[in-house]
Chain A
Amino acid sequence: AQSVTQPDIHITVSEGASLELRCNYSYGATPYLFWYVQSPGQGLQLLLKYFSGDTLVQGIKGFEAEFKRSQSSFNLRKPSVHWSDAAEYFCAVGGRNAGNMLTFGGGTRLMVKP
């Protein structure tokens, strides 16, 4: 069965600082990987996705993520964080062997200090 681990439950960064959110996955075949962002009381917005090809993917709002098969990781990065980035971030895995479902990690709550 597939699984996703987000080791950091909470992260606090200063505005303008760089950010990296960690994601490790377990999946028996080629994974499809996603990062979603959720503001309080809201649904999930897709930030970026990886299906195949270039292992560095660009997303919305200046986010990027790098797929590293050898480390089973798909970490999310942003070079300079803005106060509006404060939210909860979820990594998810799916794929052809997963049927039609996504498996999500437990999330990382990002707080941004002024």
Chain B
Amino acid sequence: DTGVSQNPRHKITKRGQNVTFRCDPISEHNRLYWYRQTLGQGPEFLTYFQNEAQLEKSRLLSDRFSAERPKGSFSTLEIQRTEQGDSAMYLCASSPVGGVVTEAFFGQGTRLTVV
């Protein structure tokens, strides 16, 4: 069990470019979450998957954001036409089968800087 893995750890991009982040959850965890954390704030929920189904999406997840989990294992979060306000830490978490739904184990995050 290597924990939740996120790649890349850091990403610097120019405004208007597209970026994609990857999350590999703890094996056999069927629930996967994305959160966003801006500097000095707590994480904010973005979206939730159970297996390959995206079951919840926050209003924070604008049309420029899309998340997928095609085979119920790893997940990707894509941001199109990035804006400076997208600069944040993007955190992925997973939780185990049969566990309390909201008990989540977090990865180390991907820090996005939009210049």
Contact = CB atoms under 8 A, between A and B. Distances in A.
A63 interface: no
A90 B48 contact: no
Contacts of B35: 102
Contacts, number: 69
Contacts of A42: 108-109
Contact of A34 (B48, B101, B103): B103
A107 B111 CA distance: 18
A49 B48 contact: no
Contacts of A104: 42-44
A32 B105 CA distance: 15
Interface residues of B, number: 29
A95 B4 CA distance: 22
Interface in A20-76: 32, 34, 36, 41-46, 49, 51
Contacts of A44: 43, 91, 93, 106
A98 B106 contact: no
A36 B6 CA distance: 18
Interface of A: 4, 32, 34, 36, 41-46, 49, 51, 90, 92, 94-96, 98-107
Given A100-B101, A102-B43, 19 more contacts: A4-B42, A41-B108, A42-B108, A43-B4, A43-B91, A43-B109, A44-B43, A44-B93, A44-B106, A45-B106, A46-B105, A49-B100, A51-B100, A92-B42, A95-B102, A100-B31, A104-B42, A104-B43, A106-B41
